[in-house]
């Protein structure tokens, strides 16, 4: 009986051992399973102590290769703090984990055994023993790449943010700019509104003026015509606009006139002022005073022409009537003047009896007075001839100096009695000019006559005839007192005589220079004078006296038949 009990005891112990064996086997299987698990993980798994340096108690293959150790043994030789880029940071980590009992996703700057810097993300728990010692169990992930990506993303984000900031700033600037533009536009708008109001006033003025205003483009096509156009020409503004101004007027003037008109406004870009004959719609010819101005843009190009016309037909008629009257009256006056002249002459000659010396004196006064009247009549007739256009121009080749010399001979008595010295300079290269000698004679008679009249005893006169460009230039200078500034603007006007002239020659009629101007301008020349004031000098350095200048085109003048 003992054996069966022993055998049963042994059998029961075997069962227990088998159970224990099984349990141990299961446990070992479990441990192996967990070991496998931990060894296969790609995250680092470790256990290390809590000291400031610390050492590893366990490390999985992942952490070993993470830190580029050749083996687990090599890895575990190192202190935990060795793996820190800044070993002092280890104590901070230990403090933290002690405080909270765990860390989660703690980013640490670590360095491998080969010196490569990495960033690890650590999640660990602390396990404290009753005796105060402890260890941490943790997982560590190499997030270096992840960090790099994060950094790149951050940079990208920053760049994006900057770009957005920049773009926003640009947008704001643009907004400011457009606000400014809007403001400027508003100002412009106000300007235009005020301009438009002014234009309204101008338009009102143009609509109501009796002068004809036509605005054309640079080709001469009318783009605006005011109501006065209809009153003057008979054509309504609508009929005028869009047409080449000039075609409507049927161009009764000679072609040369229109040529000169275009040359002045288009080529020379100057204002054209003149008189023009046009035809009204009903065929009636009328005379207008015309003023055409070119209008320029900023680049000095012509963009418009503005033409202003005034119907002066009535004025012309009145003028003509006046001249005709003067002409008629002057002719009539000649008869009684001749009568006085011839009868007085015969008495003075003794043809009708002896004449006592005192009687002679008185008769001579009568004769002189009469002669003056005859001269005045002749002058009036010349003037009215010019104004009516009833004079002829009969050109022939002349030497200007010949006519000048002849006039000087006429003036010899006065020149001698006044003891005037005359200096003459004739340019020998001056050719003959085809011109009307009797009219040229009038020019010299007036200018040389004046020079002799208005100079003192022993005075000086200089006569120069020279060439200047395409003209003959006549200059007559004397060293008299000159023409006072106040009289200068009126010198060439009709019947003007300044005080000094009146004093020197009370008989003068004030028409001479007017006639000279008419003749010279009719010949296509110019006449002007220089009489120095305190501030000007006559060219060539004289500082006293008066110099008259006349230019006459070398090309001469054309034959002109009287306009009647």
Please report, as ranges, the residues that interact with another protein according to CB under 8 A: 331-332, 334-339, 341-343, 345-346, 349, 351-352, 374, 377-378, 381, 385, 390-392, 562, 564
Smallest separation, CB 564 to another protein (Å): 6
For 434, the token pair is: 């085809």
CA atoms of 520 and 378, how far apart (whole Å): 19
Smallest separation, CB 312 to another protein (Å): 26
Smallest separation, CB 407 to another protein (Å): 17
Smallest separation, CB 257 to another protein (Å): 24
The answer to whether 478 and 454 are in contact (CB under 8 A) is: yes
Q: Which is nearer to another protein, 555 or 562 (CB)?
A: 562
Q: Which is nearer to another protein, 53 or 334 (CB)?
A: 334
Q: Which is nearer to another protein, 159 or 562 (CB)?
A: 562
Using left for φ > 0, alpha for ψ between -120 and 50, and beta otherwise, residue 548 falls in beta
Cα dihedral across residues 407, 412, 417, 422: positive or negative: positive
DSSP state of 264: I
Lookup result for tokens 């004397």: 478
Smallest separation, CB 339 to another protein (Å): 4
Smallest separation, CB 395 to another protein (Å): 14
Going by C-alpha positions, the residue among 142, 73, 152, 137 that lies closest to residue 111 is 142
Q: Which is nearer to another protein, 376 or 430 (CB)?
A: 376
Smallest separation, CB 539 to another protein (Å): 36
Q: Which is nearer to another protein, 403 or 420 (CB)?
A: 403
Smallest separation, CB 536 to another protein (Å): 39
Exposed e or buried b for every residue in 72-100, given b needs 16+ CB within 10 A? beebbebbbbbbbeeeeebeebbeebeee
- Going by DSSP bridges, is the β-strand pair 460-468/471-478 parallel, antiparallel, or unpaired? antiparallel
Lookup result for tokens 């002459």: 345
Q: Which is nearer to another protein, 202 or 342 (CB)?
A: 342
Q: Which is nearer to another protein, 134 or 449 (CB)?
A: 449
Smallest separation, CB 274 to another protein (Å): 25
Centre a 10 Å sphere on the Cβ of residue 476 and count the other Cβ atoms it contains: 23
Q: Which is nearer to another protein, 209 or 378 (CB)?
A: 378
- Laid out side by side, the sheet with 56-59 consists of 56-59, 44-49, 134-142, 117-128, 102-111
Smallest separation, CB 348 to another protein (Å): 10
How distant is the alpha carbon of residue 414 from its chain centre? 61
Name the H helices within 436-477: 437-453
DSSP string, 368-434: HHHHHHHHHHHHHHHHHHHHHT---B--EEE-HHHHHHHHHHHTHHHHHHTT-EEEEEE-TT---EE
Q: Which is nearer to another protein, 341 or 466 (CB)?
A: 341
- Going by DSSP bridges, is the β-strand pair 272-279/285-296 parallel, antiparallel, or unpaired? antiparallel
- Those residues whose C-beta lies under 8 Å from the C-beta of residue 520, and which sit 6 or more positions away, are 443, 526, 527, 550, 551, 552
Q: Which is nearer to another protein, 78 or 334 (CB)?
A: 334
CA atoms of 124 and 103, how far apart (whole Å): 5
CA atoms of 213 and 295, how far apart (whole Å): 14
Smallest separation, CB 436 to another protein (Å): 10
Cα dihedral across residues 292, 297, 300, 301: positive or negative: negative
Cα dihedral across residues 351, 355, 358, 359: positive or negative: negative
For 176, the token pair is: 């400011």
Smallest separation, CB 287 to another protein (Å): 23
Q: Which is nearer to another protein, 121 or 384 (CB)?
A: 384
Q: Which is nearer to another protein, 259 or 339 (CB)?
A: 339
Smallest separation, CB 349 to another protein (Å): 7
CA distances from residue 479 to 238, 363, 384, 541 in whole angstroms, order as listed: 62, 37, 33, 12
Q: Which is nearer to another protein, 326 or 473 (CB)?
A: 326
Q: Which is nearer to another protein, 124 or 381 (CB)?
A: 381
SS (H, E, C) 288-322: EEEEEEEEECCCCCEEEEEEEEEECHHHHHHHHHH
The answer to whether 52 and 94 are in contact (CB under 8 A) is: yes
Smallest separation, CB 406 to another protein (Å): 17
Phi/psi for 351 (5° steps) reads -65, -20
């Amino acid at each position: 009986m003992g054996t069966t009990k022993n055998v049963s005891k042994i059998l029961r112990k075997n069962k227990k051992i088998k159970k224990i064996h099984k349990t141990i086997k299961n446990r070992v299987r479990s441990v192996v399973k967990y070991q496998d698990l931990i060894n296969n993980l790609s995250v680092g798994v470790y256990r290390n102590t809590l000291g400031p340096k610390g050492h590893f108690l366990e490390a999985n293959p992942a952490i070993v290769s993470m830190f580029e150790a050749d083996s687990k043994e090599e890895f575990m030789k190192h202190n935990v703090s060795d793996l820190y880029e800044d070993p002092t940071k280890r104590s901070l980590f230990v403090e933290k984990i002690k405080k909270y009992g765990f860390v989660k996703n703690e980013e640490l700057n670590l360095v491998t055994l080969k010196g490569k810097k990495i960033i690890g993300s650590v999640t660990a728990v602390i396990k404290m023993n009753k005796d105060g010692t402890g260890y941490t169990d943790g997982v560590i992930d190499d997030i270096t790449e992840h960090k790099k990506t994060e950094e790149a993303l951050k940079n990208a984000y920053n760049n994006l943010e900057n770009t957005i900031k920049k773009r926003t700033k640009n947008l704001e600037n643009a907004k400011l700019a457009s606000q400014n533009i809007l403001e400027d536009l508003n100002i412009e708008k106000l300007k235009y509104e005020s301009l438009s109001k002014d234009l309204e006033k101008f338009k009102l003025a143009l609509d109501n003026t009796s002068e004809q205003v036509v605005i054309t483009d640079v080709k001469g096509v009318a783009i605006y015509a005011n109501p006065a156009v209809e009153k003057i020409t008979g054509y309504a503004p609508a009929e005028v606009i869009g047409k080449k101004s000039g075609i409507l007027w049927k161009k009764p003037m000679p072609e040369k006139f229109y040529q000169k008109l275009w040359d002045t406004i288009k080529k020379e870009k100057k204002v054209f002022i003149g008189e023009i004959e046009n035809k009204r719609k009903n065929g009636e010819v009328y005379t207008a005073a015309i003023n055409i101005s070119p209008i320029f843009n900023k680049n000095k190009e012509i963009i418009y022409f503005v033409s202003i016309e005034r119907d002066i037909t009535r004025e012309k008629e009145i003028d003509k009537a006046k001249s005709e009257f003067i002409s008629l009256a002057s002719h009539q006056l000649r008869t009684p003047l001749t009568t006085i002249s011839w009868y007085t002459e015969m008495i003075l000659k003794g043809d009708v009896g002896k004449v006592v010396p005192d009687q002679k004196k008185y008769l001579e006064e009568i004769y002189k007075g009469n002669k003056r009247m005859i001269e005045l009549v002749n002058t009036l007739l010349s003037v009215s001839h010019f104004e009516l256009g009833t004079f002829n121009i009969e050109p022939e080749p002349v030497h200007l100096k010949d006519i000048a010399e002849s006039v000087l001979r006429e003036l010899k008595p006065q020149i001698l009695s006044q003891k005037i010295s005359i200096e003459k300079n004739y340019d020998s290269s001056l050719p003959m000019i085809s011109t009307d000698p009797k009219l040229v004679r009038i020019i010299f008679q007036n200018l040389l006559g004046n020079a002799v009249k208005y100079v003192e005893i022993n005075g000086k006169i200089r006569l120069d005839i020279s060439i200047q460009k395409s003209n003959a230039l006549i200059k007559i200078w004397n060293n008299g007192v000159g023409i006072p500034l106040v009289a200068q603007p009126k010198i060439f006007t009709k019947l003007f005589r300044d005080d000094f002239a009146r004093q020197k020659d009370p008989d003068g009629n004030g028409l001479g220079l007017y006639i000279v101007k008419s003749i010279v301008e009719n010949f296509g020349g110019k006449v002007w004078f220089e009489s120095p004031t305190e501030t000007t000098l006559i060219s060539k350095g004289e500082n006293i006296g008066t110099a008259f200048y006349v230019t006459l085109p070398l090309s001469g003048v054309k034959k002109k038949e009287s306009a009647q």
